[in-house]
Structure 1
């Protein structure tokens, strides 16, 4: 975790995807000193206290939850209800989100509650900020949410940790929260009547995942554009496929930007490169049209994610200043579900594109004079060396799995909880799918990067491409890849090289158009 000096302020202004990722990367959190913000938070919790004192009926405070909303809670048991809520939801299964993801989830939940319309006390916001600032990240299972009524099961682990229960990460390993709190003199929080519901009945898990997915997808747009340029160079492609005049007649802005990036990388140097063919195959020629779909979708996806981030997304909504209790369905994650289902579709198409380009580069029928499978071996040793043959098989496997996961999760709504939650978003499953598709695509991109750099070097060794014809960005990427993986002269196991390349992609360390980030 990289500690960032300036903390992110919650409560006074709209936050961005990048702010949430700054928290995930180690930045601290602080609550705004804005008087209007503090007044709004205090008004909400005070209004609920007054209603409770007057024996007003409040969903999830003086009633049971969900289908049990018709069950009245005796006044002497109201205080126990939040603990029961997070306790009986402690049934999550599957793998656990890592600490990086957990911090994004904490930030997303804090931001929603900091809107001031959830009826929580100031001390709860402070305790959430303490978890972030002390790096006390709840160990949260990935499976168990249907995305409405919110991320109930995974967020129960956040509520339980605030109360000093369950586990947090310590040095990457699960550790008892109670022991961590004791060591830091942190008092466990006893949740007020509405606070268990406010913490759990929202979209923080899917939205935190969406922030991570968005950043990784945004970077892949740029990296795949640059790698397309390398693939074109390696296969002696035609630079005019990316001409600005050509793209001016189809004015999708993201697609045009991608074409311009590829064009710039191909036209750096002595003279425009004209390939041997009038038209290259679609995976090269149509790359801007494939990558550009994601590029053009990103602004809409950002809007969906950031609007959800900066919303009060639990139920009921508490307007303390106006003295209203508003019952609705703001826990529903439909916008995130759509965003993640859409993103994973576009990203999987990048996996397919990169795999198809890799298939061209290794095949002597289509790579226009490069050695079979991009082997660097020479003489009689070529007979026993197989270069990137198996890597291309692997890339095809990863691409196929990514494509298989593009079925929209949001269409698989299931009626749950005695048919109270009879239409649900599946937003968290969609977000988890998107992250898996991103992982698989990054694996394909890593394989492509190693092969494309090899192909460009082989083309240069044959004297058909000069260093002066490489853009500074292409040259930088080649250097960065070679710092991880040496030129493949003789067959060797490439799994270590691939894993290191994937790590560099996920750290966004490779040079891309417009900068690394």
Structure 2
């Protein structure tokens, strides 16, 4: 890495969302904490000791329904590589580079927690690959929320030199019999997608405060809906935060100023009540993910303290699936309000402007098409918000008789991110167009800075034309507006 590039300390206990994103998207290098390395070494030694006196699943036995099959003598030779080869059956699209890097750093951190029994040289190999920028190739299909076996088998075989690197390369590492299941026994790829989706959704929710504030200004909204006394009467944290953000962005101090109407449509009036659950759901999801990426969740758990191994079900990620289901559903409701505000922005009785904010001869369409784009994206969100936790699977000859489908929940969250970004972009383009025509005196309020910045990016012409470029620019601008 170049001089000045940040690096993230991997200690097995404190890896957070921001550090994962630094590695996944920011090119940060990693450094394995010496204490964590020592912990991993002790875990491997304990696993080796216990395996000499009792059966250890996946180490001295087969896996799944083959758990009763003993692996010893000649059968032990190459057992680990056979496990990895047989499980590296993922298909479909290749995982995005940021997801692969996030998977690698999460898995490294979990191994550093010291519960897997994997040899410490495997941790060193992951650290080196991340620092070299070497990326394995991982495929999307092959997990149901009970371990990302296929992706992690692909990564392990790449580290071992059996598979080609997708980007760059790193020196191969030798894998022992006990390293195979110990490396695969994780949901690191699912967690990687979930962490990325969670971060992106939190950014879009922050941006939505700014977009809604611009719509409020264009629609002449009533400030009473955001008054502090109102939200103290029902003090849900996310709802209170949303109302406070709206007051800040709109420069609301003192008694609320009356708007054009005694009561606004729900898109404005109920924004805190709908945005609040989404903010709280994403905060809960972030907390769940923080536990998972720092967990000793491998099955079996190698306990140095007890000098023993414990067979369990930490591979089951119901917490992740349920939190993701709730997050997607709550963000969908917020997007519905954005589409509703867009409908208000094209209505003359709400803005005092022409239908569809059109400019030109009679019958000009203006921003009419934005509603179609927004509702297409909203429909995509609606399908992606359907709960995955309503289904299950029975596999491995009936032994594994339940699945969380957290993997599918994380994938659907990525779909929600992109669709919601387009919904917000449609509202932003319409709100800025309306304000350009109205030219209100906004004074010195934060929302004015957002309007001025967006106006710099969007085409100022009002005649009928394609709005595709404006929508792309507005979508790209949302991350910047989130930081306002």
Is TM > 0.5 for Structure 1 vs Structure 2? yes
* Mean Cα deviation higher: 315-324 or 227-236: 315-324
Query: 1:10·1:32 contact (CA, 8 Å) conserved in 2?
Result: yes
> Mapping of 1:244-259 within 5 angstroms?
244-259=228-243
1 CA distance for matches of 2:130 and 2:117?
A: 21
Query: 2:13·2:109 contact (CA, 8 Å) conserved in 1?
Result: no
167 and 371 in structure 1: CA distance in 2 versus 1, 3 angstrom threshold = farther
Cα drift, residue 328 of structure 1:
0.7
- Corresponding residue of 1:175: none
Query: Aligned with 2:394: secondary structure?
Result: coil
Q: Structure 1 residue 32 and structure 2 residue 33: aligned?
A: yes
Query: 1:6·1:28 contact (CA, 8 Å) conserved in 2?
Result: yes
Query: Aligned with 2:9: secondary structure?
Result: strand
- Corresponding residue of 2:475: 502
- Corresponding residue of 1:417: 396
Query: Aligned with 1:383: secondary structure?
Result: coil
Match of residue 373, structure 2, among 391, 394, 414:
394
Cα drift, residue 433 of structure 1:
0.7
Report Cα offsets for 1:369-412 as digits up to 9, x if no partner.
Answer: 1221122x2xxx23253121111111011112211222211221
6 and 63 in structure 1: CA distance in 2 versus 1, 3 angstrom threshold = same
270 and 241 in structure 1: CA distance in 2 versus 1, 3 angstrom threshold = closer
382 and 3 in structure 1: CA distance in 2 versus 1, 3 angstrom threshold = farther
2 CA distance for matches of 1:167 and 1:280?
A: 59
Cα drift, residue 487 of structure 1:
2.2
2 CA distance for matches of 1:12 and 1:108?
A: 9
Query: 2:81·2:177 contact (CA, 8 Å) conserved in 1?
Result: no
- Corresponding residue of 1:428: 407
> Mapping of 1:119-158 within 5 angstroms?
119-148=117-146, 150-158=147-155
Query: Aligned with 1:9: secondary structure?
Result: strand
1 CA distance for matches of 2:263 and 2:282?
A: 29
Structure 2: gaps of 5 or more residues: none
Query: 1:127·1:162 contact (CA, 8 Å) conserved in 2?
Result: yes
Query: 1:45·1:320 contact (CA, 8 Å) conserved in 2?
Result: no
Query: 1:111·1:310 contact (CA, 8 Å) conserved in 2?
Result: yes
- Corresponding residue of 1:192: 176
97 and 481 in structure 1: CA distance in 2 versus 1, 3 angstrom threshold = farther
- Corresponding residue of 2:434: 455
Query: Aligned with 1:29: secondary structure?
Result: strand
Cα drift, residue 47 of structure 1:
2.5
Query: 1:118·1:314 contact (CA, 8 Å) conserved in 2?
Result: yes
Match of residue 371, structure 1, among 332, 339, 354:
354
Query: 1:79·1:192 contact (CA, 8 Å) conserved in 2?
Result: no
Structure 1: gaps of 5 or more residues: 171-179
Q: Structure 1 residue 441 and structure 2 residue 420: aligned?
A: yes
- Corresponding residue of 1:72: 70
2 CA distance for matches of 1:141 and 1:3?
A: 33
Equivalent pairs, count: 483
Q: What TM-score comes out, normalization by structure 2 length?
A: 0.94
1 CA distance for matches of 2:325 and 2:356?
A: 35
Query: 1:131·1:137 contact (CA, 8 Å) conserved in 2?
Result: yes
- Corresponding residue of 1:265: 249
> Mapping of 1:184-223 within 5 angstroms?
186-223=170-207
Query: Aligned with 1:168: secondary structure?
Result: coil
Cα drift, residue 347 of structure 1:
1.3
Report Cα offsets for 1:92-119 as digits up to 9, x if no partner.
Answer: 2222221111111111111111101100
326 and 303 in structure 1: CA distance in 2 versus 1, 3 angstrom threshold = same
Cα drift, residue 221 of structure 1:
2.1
- Corresponding residue of 2:44: 45
- Corresponding residue of 2:8: 8
2 CA distance for matches of 1:269 and 1:319?
A: 57
2 CA distance for matches of 1:309 and 1:370?
A: 51
- Corresponding residue of 1:174: none
- What is the alpha-carbon root mean square deviation over aligned residues? 2.2
Query: 2:266·2:337 contact (CA, 8 Å) conserved in 1?
Result: no
124 and 488 in structure 1: CA distance in 2 versus 1, 3 angstrom threshold = same
> Mapping of 1:80-479 within 5 angstroms?
80-148=78-146, 150-170=147-167, 180-181=168-169, 186-267=170-251, 273-365=257-349, 367-375=350-358, 377=359, 381-460=360-439, 465-468=440-443, 471=445, 473-479=446-452
Cα drift, residue 295 of structure 1:
1.6
2 CA distance for matches of 1:4 and 1:393?
A: 47
Query: Aligned with 2:393: secondary structure?
Result: coil
2 CA distance for matches of 1:338 and 1:372?
A: 43
2 CA distance for matches of 1:102 and 1:303?
A: 22
Query: 2:116·2:296 contact (CA, 8 Å) conserved in 1?
Result: yes
